[in-house]
Structure 1
Amino acid sequence: MKTIQIKFKTLLFALLVGIAFTSCSKDDEQSINSNLNLDQIQGSWTRVGGNQPANNGMKINVSGNSGVITYKAPGNSVELQIGDVKWKDIVAQDETNYRYEELGSNGSYYPSSLTFGVDDTLRISVDAAPGAGYIQKWVQNPSPVSQINDGLVAFYSFCGNANDESNNNNNATIFGATLTEDRYGNSDKAYLFDGINDYMEVENSQSLENLNSQMSMSVWFNTTEYYYTGKGWASLLAKSGNSTSLDSRQFSLFYNDDGDIYFNNDVVGNFSFDLDQWYNLTLTYDSGTVKTYVDGVLINDIAGIEPVVSNQLSLMIGYDTPGVTEYYNGILDDIRIYNRILSESEVTRLTNEDLGCSI
Structure 2
Amino acid sequence: MEQAKDLLAKGVLKPGDYAYHEGLSDWTPLLEVIVANSEPEASPTPSVGPSLSTAPTPKAKSNATLVVGIVVGLMVLGGLAAAGGWYFFLRDEPMELVKTTPPLKVNVPPNKEVEKILAREIGIWKITGHRLPVIDPETGGPGKAEDIRDTIETRWKEKGKSTVSTFSPVINGKKVSFVGYKEYDAKDGVFIWRVKGEGLPETVSKERYDPVTKTFHGEVNYQNNTRELSTFRRINKDRVHFKSKLFDADNKLLGTSEMLFTRLEKKEPDQPPMTAGSLTAKEAAEVMAWVIGKWETKGKGMPVGGEPQAIEITMEARWKEEGKSVEFKYTMEEGGKTVSYFGHQQYDEARGIFINRSKWGDNPETTSHERYDPATRTSRAQSMPVSPAVGSKTTTVTKRIGQDKTQQTLEVYQDGQLVYSHEIVSTRIGRYVEPARPEPAPHAPQNGLVAYYPFNGNARDEAGHGHDGTVIGARLTADRHDRADSAYQFKLGDHIRIKGLMGKPKNVTLAAWVKLNGQQGRSGADIISIGTSVNIRVDSKSGTGGSSRTGRGSWLGTNAKVNYTDTGWHQIVFTFNDNTDRQVVYVDGTSMAASRNQIPIFYEGRETDTVVGINGRERNAGFETQGVIDDIRVYDRTLSAAEVKALFHSE
Where in structure 1 do 4 or more consecutive aligned residues deviate above 4 Å?
A: 143-147
Q: Could you tell me which amino acid in structure 2 is paired with residue 324 of structure 1?
A: N
Q: Distance in 2 between matches of 1:289 and 1:164?
A: 28
CA contact (8 A) 2:448 2:635 kept: yes
Q: Secondary structure at the match of 1:209?
A: coil
Q: State the shift of 1:186 in Å.
A: 1.2
Is residue 2:550 matched to residue 1:289? Answer: no
Please give the alpha-carbon distance, in whole angstroms, between the structure 2 residues aligned to 1:339 and 1:274.
27
Question: Are 1:315 and 2:599 matched, yes or no?
Answer: no
The verdict on how the C-alpha distance between 1:266 and 1:154 changes in structure 2, with shifts beyond 3 A counting, is: same
Residue 260 of structure 1, CA deviation: 4.2
**Which residues of 2 match residues 103-122 of structure 1 at below 5 A?**
none
Q: 531, 547, 553: which is aligned to 1:263?
A: 547
Confirm or deny: 8 A CA contact 1:260 1:267 kept in the other structure: no
What corresponds to 1:272 in structure 2? 562
CA shift in 2, pair 1:341/1:262, >3 Å = closer
CA distance in 2, matches of 1:337, 1:307: 18
Match of 2:447 in 1: 150
Whole-angstrom CA distance in 1 between matches of 2:561 and 2:645? 17
Residue 503 of structure 2, aligned match among 203, 206, 209: 209
Q: What aligned pairs does 1:48-63 form with structure 2 within 5 A after superposition?
A: none
Alignment CA distance shift 1:152-1:272 (3 Å): same
**Aligned AA (1:239):** I
Cα distance in structure 1, aligned partners of 2:564 and 2:472: 26
Among candidates 472, 475, 488, match of residue 178 of structure 1: 475
Q: Unaligned regions of 5+ residues in structure 2, if any?
A: 1-439, 549-554
Task: Give the CA deviation at 1:219.
Answer: 0.6
**Do 1:290 and 1:305's aligned partners in 2 also have CA atoms closer than 8 Å?**
no
2-structure distance, mates of 1:263, 1:274: 18
Structure 1: distance between partners of 2:512 and 2:475: 17
| Residue 221 in structure 1 maps to residue 511 in structure 2 | no
Deviations 1:36-69 (A, max 9, x none): xxxxxxxxxxxxxxxxxxxxxxxxxxxxxxxxxx
Could you list the per-position Cα deviations for residues 96-155 of structure 1 after superposition, in whole angstroms to 9, with x for gaps in the alignment? xxxxxxxxxxxxxxxxxxxxxxxxxxxxxxxxxxxxxxxxxxxxxxx9947711111110
Deviation of the 1:352 alpha carbon: 1.3
Does structure 2 conserve the Cα–Cα contact (< 8 Å) formed by 1:156 and 1:165? Answer: yes
How far 1:271 sits from its partner (Å)? 3.8
Instruction: Name which structure has the greater RCO, CA cutoff 8 Å, separation 6+.
Output: 1
| Deviation of the 1:267 alpha carbon | 2.6
* Distance in structure 2 (CA, Å) of the matches to 1:147 and 1:188: 22
AA in 1 matched with 2:511: S
- Structure 1 residue runs of 5 or longer lacking an equivalent are 1-142, 241-248, 355-359
Residue pairs, 1:84-95, within 5 angstroms: none
Report what 2:496 is aligned to: 200
Offset at 1:189? 0.8
Displacement of 1:234: 1.0
Instruction: State the AA in 1 paired with 2:558.
Output: V
Q: In structure 1, what is the equivalent of residue 525 of structure 2?
A: 234
Matched AA of 2:487: A
Tell me the residue number matched to 2:537: 254
The aligned counterpart of 1:349 is 646
Quote the RMSD (CA, aligned, Å): 2.3
Q: Which amino acid aligns with 1:209?
A: G
Q: Which residue of 2 aligns with 1:30?
A: none
Query: In structure 2, what residue type is equivalent to 1:261?
Result: G
Q: Deviations over 1:200-258 (max 9, x none)?
A: 000016xx1331x21111110011134343x4x11111122xxxxxxxx2212213344
Match of 1:347, SS state, is helix
Residues 220 and 147 of structure 1, relative CA distance in 2, 3 Å threshold: closer
